[in-house]
Structure 1
């Protein structure tokens, strides 16, 4: 008798739990826009003033075996901006998966960057990345990003 009651209750909460975790189309679009903005504004424009807008204070970037913080990124940008001619970076993404859990979303994607100088492509780069975005009072922000370079032919 107890098993007959517990099984339906368990199934109900299992299904409810799965449904509650589905990402809404609006949330998916917000996350896609967040990534586009981060890579266009921070990495493309080399604008360290935008880091606070897109990253949490405790943000970590795991970049090909290195651990970067917001301060590490600011230092990198300051050095990069000293270059005589900064390349233009065009970013595009191919999203693989989104997983929502309460106020966070984990997602995976391919990241493509084309670097050009004076309209001429100088490099094409690709990374396989995963990230965690946290819902804050200011909107979605990145808390963690894990990046692995993909060799291109």
Structure 2
């Protein structure tokens, strides 16, 4: 009887620990948006460390009929220094350790550019990072 009770207690403890671990691996909308904001802050300030912290090692991006990688973004950074962006119409969904965010990206500096963007984010060792980003430039009138 003791072994049955101890086994049941052990299963309950393991079950609780599993839920706690799942919760830690999940991604909230706030974490996702913060990661997107960090990515663009890095791009606008030429902060290569923040850029690398915001992206997975195998990150890639579709924009302007091109595929971009981390290395190509790092090379681009001197040309984007001083730029700023704002994000509106944010939508977010998550499942497990992954999340998907979409948003309207409006250039602030310069203000004549905007994009519709979508990103796949993952929780990698406790840090939320962008794995894939798709950007469609809008030509607003």
Shorter-chain TM-score tier: 0.7 to 0.9
When you count helix as a share of all residues, which structure comes out higher? Answer: 2
1:90 CA displacement = 2.4
- Say whether 1:44 aligns with 2:41: no
CA deviation vs aligned residue, 1:58-94 (integer Å, no higher than 9, x gap): 000111210000011111125x27xxxx5x3222101
TM-score, reference length from structure 1: 0.68
Check conservation: 2:60, 2:68, Cα contact below 8 A. yes
TM-score, reference length from structure 2: 0.74
Question: 1:30 — aligned with what?
Answer: 31
- Say whether 1:94 aligns with 2:82: no
Q: Which has the higher contact order (CA 8 A, sep 6+)?
A: 2
Question: 1:136 — aligned with what?
Answer: 124
Question: 1:104 — aligned with what?
Answer: 98
1:51 CA displacement = 2.0
For the residue of structure 1 that corresponds to 2:112, the secondary structure is strand
Question: 1:55 — aligned with what?
Answer: 55
- Return structure 1 stretches of 4+ with deviation > 6 angstroms: none
Cα distance in 1 for partners of 2:102, 2:46 equals 23
Cα distance in 2 for partners of 1:139, 1:49 equals 14
Cα distance in 2 for partners of 1:54, 1:39 equals 10
1:112 CA displacement = 1.1
For the residue of structure 2 that corresponds to 1:124, the secondary structure is coil
Check conservation: 1:48, 1:73, Cα contact below 8 A. no
Check conservation: 1:98, 1:106, Cα contact below 8 A. yes
Cα distance in 2 for partners of 1:30, 1:39 equals 14
